[in-house]
Structure formats: structure tokens, C-alpha cells
């Protein structure tokens, strides 16, 4: 037979105070993880013209053209275009850049009725196509923020 008193005297355990501190710490870490996960699921609303910027993308209208390395863009709508995202496709691969990085895009964007022309030939030498997607700027609780419209719905494809 085993002496029960002998086993209980030699057992070492965590004191109740340390166990409580560890339990509270574990609960705080799990709470923080869940909070950050939920925060990542929600996006802060960006507002332009008192509407959600996603809805304003429907009102963006622009025409594009490309000839001899010169890209031309005309804003024919009522929404100023802050920037253009350029997706350069080459043999199934693609690279996305801002038009500001490829040419002298106006710092204030392209207002209604304005046009832009710029040489992008050095960046699209062996490209098959270029997709131009408008970028809008709006306000949010944290200040001004940019929003890139959905490429599938609002992007203009230029086959080279």
C-alpha cells in the first residue's frame, strides 16, 4: 500500500495567487486577440459627397487612350479622380503601380473636365495590356483616406 500522507507532502503546486494571476493574464490575452480579429473584419467608412465612396465609384466616368507610349485620360464625369492604379499585365504575370510613380500625374488629381497625358512607354515595353482603375479620396473618422474602386467593375483595359 502507498502512504497517501507521504505523497501529498511532496507534491508541489502553484499557489492560488499565482494561479489567479495566470488565469487573468490568459483571459486578457484571449480578449485582445478576439478584439483585434473583429477590428480587422470591419473597415472604417470613407465618405465622399455625403455617400459611401463605394457608391460614388458608380458615378466615375473617364476615357482612356494609348498611342506611341503616350497614355491619355479624360475625366468626363462629375467626380474628381485622385489617382489611377495601373495594372501592367505581361504573359500571365502582372504588376500594380500608381500612375503617380510612372509619370507626372497632377498632385491634386484629375478634376471634372480635365485631361492628362503622360509617357509610360518605359514601363510597358513588353506588356500585353494595361488596366487603369480610378482611386478616389474621401473623409473618414481618422481623416482623409484613399479608396481604389473595384477593378473588375470600373477598370479600363487597354490592349497593347
Domain hosting 59: range is 47-159
Give me the number of domains the chain comprises: 2
Q: Is the pTM of this model over 0.75?
A: no
DSSP string across 72-104: EEEE-SSS-B-EEEEEEEETTEEEEEEHHHHS-
Q: Mean pLDDT in the chain?
A: 87
**Residue 133 pLDDT exceeds 90:** yes
**Residue 24 pLDDT exceeds 90:** yes
On whether both 53 and 37 belong to a single domain, the answer is no
CATH of the domain at 66: 2.60.40
7: confidence class by pLDDT, cuts 50, 70, 90: low
Q: What's the pLDDT score for residue 8? A: 56
Q: What is the pLDDT of residues 64-83, one digit of tens each?
A: 999 888 999 999 999 999 99
Question: In terms of C-beta density within 10 A (0-12 exposed, 13-18 middle, 19 or more buried), how is residue 19 classed?
Answer: exposed
Q: Count of CB atoms within 10 A of residue 145's CB?
A: 17
On whether both 22 and 72 belong to a single domain, the answer is no
Amino acid at each position: 500500500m502507498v502512504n497517501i500522507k507521504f505523497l501529498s507532502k511532496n507534491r508541489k503546486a502553484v499557489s492560488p495567487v499565482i494561479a489567479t494571476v495566470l488565469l487573468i493574464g490568459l483571459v486578457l490575452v484571449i480578449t485582445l486577440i478576439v478584439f483585434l480579429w473583429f477590428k480587422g473584419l470591419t473597415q472604417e467608412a470613407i465618405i465622399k459627397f455625403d455617400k459611401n465612396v463605394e457608391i460614388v465609384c458608380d458615378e466615375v466616368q473617364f476615357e482612356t487612350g494609348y498611342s506611341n507610349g503616350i497614355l491619355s485620360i479624360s475625366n468626363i464625369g462629375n467626380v474628381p479622380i485622385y489617382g489611377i492604379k495601373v495594372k501592367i499585365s505581361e504573359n500571365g504575370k502582372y504588376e500594380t503601380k500608381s500612375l503617380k510613380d510612372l509619370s507626372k500625374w497632377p498632385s491634386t488629381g484629375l478634376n471634372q473636365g480635365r485631361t492628362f497625358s503622360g509617357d509610360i512607354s518605359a514601363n510597358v515595353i513588353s506588356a500585353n495590356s494595361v488596366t487603369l482603375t480610378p482611386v478616389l479620396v474621401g473623409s473618414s473618422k481618422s481623416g482623409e483616406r484613399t479608396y481604389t474602386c473595384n477593378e473588375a467593375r470600373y477598370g479600363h483595359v487597354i490592349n497593347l
